[in-house]
Amino acid sequence: MTQSDIPPIDPALADEERPDGASADATGPRPARWRKVLLHPGSLLAIGCVWLALAEGVPLALAKEFWGQKGEFTGMLVELAVALWLILAWKLYRRWIERSADTELPLAGALPEWAAGLAFGMVLFSAMTGMVALLGGIEVLGLRGLGRLWAMLGMAALSGVGEELLFRGVILRQMEKMVGTWGALAFTSAFFGIAHLGNAGATWFAALAIALEAGLLLGAAYLLTRRLWLAIGIHSGWNFTQGWIFSAPVSGGRAPPGLLITQRHGPDWLTGGAFGLEASAVAMVVATFAGVMLLRRVIRAGGIVPAPWVLRRQTKE
């Protein structure tokens, strides 16, 4: 995204004189001024977070209220339905609140971009786990079978869509308008790691690992395409591979019985401890390296947006 890609200011937001010659200030605040406040990046950040929290939380609460203890297959269908609803809710938010076209989740080209991200996330996590195995941190004892396939599919789909819409679609995108790309990427990466501190088994090292490996990698995936499909695919593929294929805890959750029967050995820095393999130092190095490689492509493509005060200084010069 370059300066030329920044959309022009809506003429409706500009101060205008009334037909009778009186200024807008003479009659008090005009609706256009309120719209300026509404469309400020800080306002949109807050509104977007609340919008998505309600869009995800309300249907999940209703499903729990009316269905109670549901089977894993039914639970997967509910989570898939909520993920699809979140995509629609995002489009409504962009149209009704931001008053602009949805460029983050366009349907054109969505499937191949999402599939590429899914494959990348699965291969990246598998490669990292292979390295941990070579260091003696995990051992494959056998093949279990389907295990909790349906639960892991639903979890991966909903976490990928919900978290990417929130952290990259809302927070990173709006923060970038206020502090530029580097500031927004640093803030969202740190916030993404800190947000996981409330999970079971979380440590400060786990939060740092999540901030570096996931915050950087997923942020770079969004910045590279300026769409969310690739980041959603990577996020879902990473979580699904960790939980179902290698039967490891996903961000501190209980280790699910997945495809492979595995056992982890050794210190927490190698195995990730109770938090899961993504808190391993190996995962931090591998995923962070992948994120840096994606960021290099972003820089080469001119996708770094300077902070507003830098743009103003450049304009004066």
Q: CA 201, CA 41: separation in Å to the nearest integer?
A: 35
Q: Give the chain's largest Cα–Cα span.
A: 83
Q: CA 98, CA 173: separation in Å to the nearest integer?
A: 12
In this predicted structure, the answer to whether residue 2 has a pLDDT above a threshold of 60 is no
Structure tokens at 161: 């869509």
- Among residues of the chain, what percentage have pLDDT more than 90? 81
Tell how far CA 98 is from the center of its chain: 19
Q: Please, which pLDDT band fits residue 10 given cuts at 50, 70 and 90?
A: very low
Q: CA 33, CA 278: separation in Å to the nearest integer?
A: 46
Helix (H, G, I), strand (E, B) or coil at 282: helix
CB 182 within 8 A of CB 304: yes
How does DSSP assign 115-169, residue by residue? HHHHHHHHHHHHHHHHHHHHTTSEEEEEE--STTHHHHHHHHHHHHHHHHIIIII
Measured between its terminal Cα atoms, the distance across the chain in Å is 22
Give residue 135's identity as a one-letter amino acid code: L
Give residue 159's identity as a one-letter amino acid code: S
Q: What is the 3-state secondary structure (H, E, C) of 204-246?
A: HHHHHHHHHHHHHHHHHHHHHHCCCHHHHHHHHHHHHHHHHHC
In this predicted structure, the answer to whether residue 3 has a pLDDT above a threshold of 60 is no
Overall pTM > 0.95? no
Task: Kindly list the distances between the CA atom of residue 18 and the CA atoms of 10, 45, 162, 259, in Å, as whole numbers in the listed order.
Answer: 18, 32, 44, 69
In this predicted structure, the answer to whether residue 8 has a pLDDT above a threshold of 50 is no
How does DSSP assign 252-265, residue by residue? TSPPP--SEEEEE-
> Cα dihedral sign for 54, 55, 57, 59?
positive
Q: Please, which pLDDT band fits residue 86 given cuts at 50, 70 and 90?
A: very high
In this predicted structure, the answer to whether residue 225 has a pLDDT above a threshold of 80 is yes
Residue 190 is predicted with a pLDDT of 97
pLDDT tens digits along 104-149? 999 999 999 999 999 999 999 999 999 999 999 999 999 999 999 9
- Greater confidence (8 vs 275) lies with 275
Q: What are the extents of the domains in the chain?
A: 39-316
CB 219 within 8 A of CB 156: no
In this predicted structure, the answer to whether residue 207 has a pLDDT above a threshold of 90 is yes
pLDDT tens digits along 57-73? 999 999 988 877 678 99
Neighbours of 141 (CB within 10 A): 10
- For the chain, the average pLDDT equals 90
Give residue 233's identity as a one-letter amino acid code: G
Q: Please, which pLDDT band fits residue 312 given cuts at 50, 70 and 90?
A: confident
pLDDT tens digits along 155-206? 999 999 999 999 999 999 999 999 999 999 999 999 999 999 999 999 999 9
Q: CA 60, CA 55: separation in Å to the nearest integer?
A: 9
CB 244 within 8 A of CB 236: no
- Greater confidence (189 vs 34) lies with 189
pLDDT tens digits along 249-265? 999 988 899 999 999 99
Q: Please, which pLDDT band fits residue 316 given cuts at 50, 70 and 90?
A: confident
